[in-house]
Structure 1
Amino acid sequence: MDIFELGDLPLASGATLPGARLAYQTFGELNAAKDNVVVFPTFLGAPAEVLNGWIGENRALDPRTHFIVLPGHFGNPPSSAPSNTAGDFPEVSIADDVVAQQRLLEEVFGVREVRLALGWSIGAIQVYEWALRFPGLVRAIAPIAGAPTPPPWTKLWLRTVVEEPIAARGRDGLAQVAHGSALTAPPRTFYYPANETWRSLGFDSVDAFVAGFWEGFWLPQDPADVAVQARKSRTAWPGAEGEAVGDMLGRIKARTSIAAFTGDALFPPDELREYAEAIPGATFRQIDSVFGHLATFGLAEPDVKAIDDVIRHALES
């Protein structure tokens, strides 16, 4: 994992993040024209390396042909976060993340064009910010299972499932975050006795799945870091103040490929289809999955193939 030192970074809130640091990984080689760049930001609670499995020879993200950058985001160590920053951590935003990511590309690699920006969930929110903040830089975007700003249900989810348990109980609240995630990220059919989809992940009971998967994901994290990530995601807004969502989406110039998963309560297909209809020339794909929002973890081969197909289409369009 590499670190880009940004110095004292002015933030959208008007505050300053002292000694700002952005973690990142790269795969492949930057070509002479510097036009083979793929930016792939990560999601809530996940360091950049969790995305490494999506990169490989003969995959959609092939390092032999693309220079793939996996940037971190603020609040998510080893990028600047409450757990590794002295003093009170300032209010950060998705906009701040993307500004830092663009500086990384330009100042470290001399890149002024992004072939594709893609990501899912909170990563997709960053992708929309890329398209609207730097319209002249980004040629194509692929927001998967995500939106420019969380829908009302998802904002409520971020507050009640993530932020409030941490505010009330600190580290002990992370167990409640894990249990709330287990209840809401997969669809209800995931737990049906006729399906018991959790067994496909190697667990012999629902309790074992909740403990092994969800507690294993959330409990090692710092609660203050998680709260910062949830808060900036919940308040994300890449448009102008007072601008309607449709008008904001209508300004996107990048070729856009949107995908959604059936059973995803956080970013339902019907809502994402409406976003696609508002973006000039955008395409939309609904992916049938038994995992719902959990499909973004790439736990089943059909989901992996479908996501690879979306990425490949976005790169070829």
Structure 2
Amino acid sequence: MKRLLFLFCFCASQLMAQNSLKFANIGSFKTQGGKTIQNCKLAYRTFGELNAEKSNAILFPTWFGGKSENLVSNAGTMIDTTKFYLILVDALGNGVSSSPSNTPAFPDITIRDMVNSEYALLTQKLHINHLYAIMGISMGGMQTFEWLVAYPDFMEKAIPIVGTPKQSYYDILLWKTEWNIIEQAGKNPAARKNAMRQVATVHNLNLATPDFYIRTEQAENAYAKIQKAGDDYVTNNNPENWICQIKAMLSQDIYKTSGKSLAEMPEYIKAKMLVIVATRDGMVNPQSAMDFAKVVNTKYVQLTSDCGHLATGCESDKVKKAVSAFL
């Protein structure tokens, strides 16, 4: 019994050690805009064991406003960590890694900057020079698309999930509206923080479809739910970090950063791909990703529920099955 208890405690301590947040200082990091982030730090968590050949690593960056702790249960159900070495990374600007909220004079960044910083983390700090796979959800999917053109030989496989290679007109309308709400609050930090209440309403309006909300919510509860969502956004989100990552998403265009047209992508992309889109997504329009998948002639999964951008949760079994089979 004592031996069993010891083994249980040892395994639990090992899991906690892997799950713990780590920080890597990648030094002076130069952005695409020519600015420098001094003592640039990236936070990350790892699960599983890196094999001797260092050939089983999977990188999974965070979504918009998300943190690696939010990914633990999500990524953990998709990736077999007895087989793969999973690296969850906090993207620049999320408030954990270097961000406006923790770094003075933090400059504007792009999705390519997020990818370049993650490349530095892998190669300089973790000494990993090749990935088995890169994958991500939403803004993590945008980073996945950017990885494909920034470092086309760096990974064997790529799985962008409800991401986009280029922002659509509708996406730009959404992100610019959220950004404007904060800016219109003026320069007072408290007013800008309180503006996150209205950001929450706009954000949630686009997170799922009208059919989803009608099906799952009662109109009588709307005001209370809106109030609670506003409270949560004020408590859990820094408006300057929010704007920072919005600006990064607005810059997303892999055709511009690579200098390659969509027609040239089949010859340029090296990794095997699985593209997953939500056909009724009102937050990250799926058309650009669908066009990409068709031209590149890659594996392609459509989530068709009324959950919109939340379809990865509503159709999680479909996503897990597709990801597992592809990996």
Answer yes or no: is 1:182 the counterpart of 2:204: yes
Equivalent position of 2:94 in the other structure: 76
* Structure 1 CA distance for aligned equivalents of residues 213 and 222 of structure 2: 8
Q: How far apart are residue 206 of structure 1 and its match?
A: 2.7
Structure with more of its chain in helix, by fraction:
2
Q: How far apart are residue 245 of structure 1 and its match?
A: 4.5
Answer yes or no: is 1:4 the counterpart of 2:24: yes
Distance change in 2, residues 1:253/1:85 (3 Å)? same
User: Do the aligned partners of 1:54 and 1:61 also contact (CA within 8 Å) in 2?
Assistant: no
- Pick one of 120, 140, 160 that aligns with 1:143: 160
Q: How far apart are residue 235 of structure 1 and its match?
A: 1.0
* Structure 1 CA distance for aligned equivalents of residues 22 and 111 of structure 2: 21
Answer yes or no: is 1:98 the counterpart of 2:115: yes
Runs of 5+ consecutive residues of structure 1 not aligned to the other structure: none
Equivalent position of 1:114 in the other structure: 131
- Pick one of 245, 250, 256 that aligns with 1:234: 250
1:213-259 Cα shifts (integer Å, max 9, x gaps): 56524642111111000011111233346946414633222111111
- Pick one of 45, 67, 76 that aligns with 2:65: 45
User: Do the aligned partners of 2:44 and 2:90 also contact (CA within 8 Å) in 1?
Assistant: yes
Letter in 2 for 1:176: Q
* Structure 1 CA distance for aligned equivalents of residues 29 and 100 of structure 2: 15
State the SS of the aligned residue for 1:154. Answer: helix
Distance change in 2, residues 1:51/1:41 (3 Å)? same
State the SS of the aligned residue for 1:19. Answer: coil
Q: How far apart are residue 304 of structure 1 and its match?
A: 1.5
Letter in 2 for 1:51: L
Equivalent position of 1:60 in the other structure: 78
* Structure 1 CA distance for aligned equivalents of residues 251 and 136 of structure 2: 18
User: Do the aligned partners of 1:45 and 1:218 also contact (CA within 8 Å) in 2?
Assistant: no
Percent identity between matched residues is 26
State the SS of the aligned residue for 2:28. Answer: strand
* Structure 1 CA distance for aligned equivalents of residues 319 and 231 of structure 2: 26
1:254-303 Cα shifts (integer Å, max 9, x gaps): 11111112321233444432110122x4111111223110234x2x4xx2
Equivalent position of 2:40 in the other structure: 20
Letter in 2 for 1:186: A
CA RMSD of aligned residues (A): 2.1
Equivalent position of 1:289 in the other structure: 305
1:167-212 Cα shifts (integer Å, max 9, x gaps): 11111221111000121111011222xx2x247xxx9823343344
Runs of 5+ consecutive residues of structure 2 not aligned to the other structure: 1-20, 186-191
Equivalent position of 1:273 in the other structure: 290
* Structure 2 CA distance for aligned equivalents of residues 222 and 212 of structure 1: 17
User: Do the aligned partners of 1:182 and 1:214 also contact (CA within 8 Å) in 2?
Assistant: no
Query: 77-86 or 205-214, which moves further after superposition?
Result: 205-214
State the SS of the aligned residue for 2:42. Answer: strand
Letter in 2 for 1:153: Y
* Structure 2 CA distance for aligned equivalents of residues 212 and 275 of structure 1: 38
Letter in 2 for 1:312: S
State the SS of the aligned residue for 1:239. Answer: helix
* Structure 1 CA distance for aligned equivalents of residues 52 and 234 of structure 2: 41
Answer yes or no: is 1:191 the counterpart of 2:213: yes
1:82-125 Cα shifts (integer Å, max 9, x gaps): 11012x22121111111111111122222111111111211111
- Pick one of 222, 225, 231 that aligns with 2:238: 222
* Structure 1 CA distance for aligned equivalents of residues 257 and 154 of structure 2: 23
User: Do the aligned partners of 1:142 and 1:258 also contact (CA within 8 Å) in 2?
Assistant: yes
User: Do the aligned partners of 1:36 and 1:65 also contact (CA within 8 Å) in 2?
Assistant: yes
- Pick one of 123, 136, 140 that aligns with 2:140: 123
State the SS of the aligned residue for 2:247. Answer: helix
User: Do the aligned partners of 2:163 and 2:286 also contact (CA within 8 Å) in 1?
Assistant: no
Equivalent position of 1:171 in the other structure: 193
User: Do the aligned partners of 1:83 and 1:222 also contact (CA within 8 Å) in 2?
Assistant: yes
User: Do the aligned partners of 2:56 and 2:85 also contact (CA within 8 Å) in 1?
Assistant: yes
Query: 247-256 or 281-290, which moves further after superposition?
Result: 247-256
User: Do the aligned partners of 1:3 and 1:24 also contact (CA within 8 Å) in 2?
Assistant: yes
State the SS of the aligned residue for 1:136. Answer: coil
Equivalent position of 2:16 in the other structure: none
* Structure 1 CA distance for aligned equivalents of residues 38 and 286 of structure 2: 40
Aligned residues, how many? 300
State the SS of the aligned residue for 1:265. Answer: coil
User: Do the aligned partners of 1:260 and 1:267 also contact (CA within 8 Å) in 2?
Assistant: no
